[in-house]
Amino acid sequence: MSAAIELKSVSKRYGPKTIIDDISFTVEQGEIVGFLGPNGAGKTTTMRMIAGFTTASSGTIKVAGHDMATENKQAAEKLGYLPEHPPLYDTLDVETYLRFVAKVKGVPSRSINSDLDRVVQSCRLEQVFTREIYKLSKGYRQRLGLAQALLGKPEVLLLDEPTAGLDPGQIHETREVIRSFGEQHAVLISTHILPEVTLICNRVAIINNGRLLAVDSPKGLQQASEETSRVTLQVSAPADALQQELMAIDGVLSVNVSDIDSGSDIVKAECQVETRDGIEAEIARITTARWGLHGLERLHPTLENVFLRYVGETSAEQEAV
C-alpha cells in the first residue's frame, strides 16, 4: 500500500526564486510526523501544496493514493487541514459554523449530529457551542479550527502550528486529541515547539531554506548528532599536557583547549565525546589525579541542539557559496 502522504522530488518556484527545493518524504497510516523549521523555511508552503491550495512546480504529491495534480477533489475528500490561521467565520456561532463545514465536506445529513458531538467533545468546545465566533478567545478559536479539520473523519490530517495560543492545559488536551487520531490515521504537524515533537511524533522532518535536511525519529536524530554530546571542564593545567591526557581517554573524540583569561593558570577544555554514560566521571577521575578541577559540565544531545546544528550547517554552506 502507498503512503498516506507521499512527496517525490517536489519543488516550488515563484519566477526565478526557489521556495521548495527537491524534497521527498512520506507519512504512513498510523504515523505522526513533525515538520520542523525556522520561519521562512518552507513549512507552510509545503503544507499548502499537500492540501491542494497551491501546486508544485515539479515533482509529485499524493494524498491517500490520489495525485494532487490530477485528482485534487478525490484527495481533498480524504484530508483534514488546519492552516496557521484557522478559516473561521466570525459572524456565525460555533454550532452553525461546524454544521456548515460538515455539509461542505459532504458529511451525510444523518451523520452530522454524531460527527459534531465527536469533534466538540474531542476539542472541548461544549461551553462555547452556541457562542458567536467573534467572542471566542484565541485558544478556543484554535480548538475550533482543529474541530473543523477533524470533521468527516479524514484519513490524513495536516496541522500547521495547532497549539499556537493555547494555555498549558489546552496544549495537553490538544496533544491527546492528535495522539489519539494518529493511532489510526496519518498526521503531519508543523510546529516550532520542540517538546511537542518529542512527546507525540514518530518521526521528524527538518527543513531550512526550502531544503529537507533530515528525516528520522526524534531518538535517531539525537543519536546521529554525536558532536552535540560534549563535556566542558575548567582545569589548572598546562594546555598541551591536558589535551594529550584527555585525548588518551577512550570515548573522547576531540578536545579543544583555550585560556580563560591571561592572568590565570586555569584553562577551559571542550571535549566532544561518545554518548555513553559515565564518560564524564572518567574524565573527572583522570584529570583530578594530576591537576585541580574547578568545574565540569556534560551537555547531552537534545532535539533542540540537533535542530540548531542542522540549520546552522545549512546557513553556513549558503554563506560560503
Residue 234 DSSP SS3: strand
Q: Which of 33, 20, 69 is closest to 221 using CA atoms? A: 33
Report the C-alpha gap between 77 and 152 in whole angstroms. Answer: 9
Which pLDDT tens digits describe the chain residue by residue (321 residues)? 578 999 999 999 999 999 999 999 999 999 999 998 888 889 999 999 999 999 999 999 999 999 999 999 999 999 999 998 888 999 999 999 999 999 999 999 999 999 999 999 989 899 999 999 999 988 899 899 999 999 998 999 999 988 877 888 888 888 888 888 888 889 999 987 777 788 889 999 999 889 999 898 888 877 766 556 789 999 999 999 999 999 999 989 999 999 887 777 899 999 988 877 788 999 999 999 999 999 999 877 777 777 777 776 655 555 554
Q: What per-residue confidence (pLDDT) applies to 315?
A: 56
Q: What per-residue confidence (pLDDT) applies to 222?
A: 72
Which CATH architecture does the domain made up of 5-216 adopt? 3-Layer(aba) Sandwich (3.40)
Residues sharing a CB contact under 8 Å with residue 40, sequence separation 6 or more, in sequence order: 209
Dihedral angle, C-alpha 99, 100, 101, 107, nearest 10 °: 60
Report the C-alpha gap between 231 and 300 in whole angstroms. Answer: 9
Under 8 Å between Cβ of 196 and 34: yes
Residue 192 DSSP SS3: coil
Domain 226-300 has CATH 3.30.70.1570: yes
Q: Which of 285, 265, 263, 282 is closest to 273 using CA atoms? A: 282
Q: What per-residue confidence (pLDDT) applies to 318?
A: 56
Q: What per-residue confidence (pLDDT) applies to 221?
A: 79
Amino acid at 80: G
Q: What per-residue confidence (pLDDT) applies to 84?
A: 84
pTM for the structure as a whole? 0.76
300 grid coordinates: 547531552
> What is the domain partition of the chain in residue ranges?
5-216, 226-300
